[in-house]
Amino acid sequence: MDLKVTVNITAENEWFVAVCEEYNLSAKSLTIEDALTELQRKLQKYLEDEQMSVSVSVVFVIKMPV
């Protein structure tokens, strides 16, 4: 099962911030890739804590200002 979540990415000074509004989670890092990796880790942990990890594959729908 795929779980699609919207991720907004913004730049704040030297940081990239990735925010998942559906689950009120965020992560920041010096690179977009690291911010997304950290956000995915937090989301997987959240889903495990909520016992929703029945073979869920997370798909990010990314929104980013140009």
Q: What is the pLDDT of residues 16-64, one digit of tens each?
A: 999 999 999 999 999 999 999 999 999 989 988 877 655 677 888 888 8
Q: For the whole model, what pTM was predicted?
A: 0.84
Domain map (residue ranges) of the chain? 2-63
CA dist., res. 6 & res. 63, Å (int) = 7
- Please state the CATH superfamily assignment of the domain spanning residues 2-63 in this structure: TTHA1013-like (3.30.2390.10)
27-59 burial, b at 16+ Cβ within 10 Å, e below that, comes to: bebeeeeebbebbbebbeeebeeeeeeeeeeee
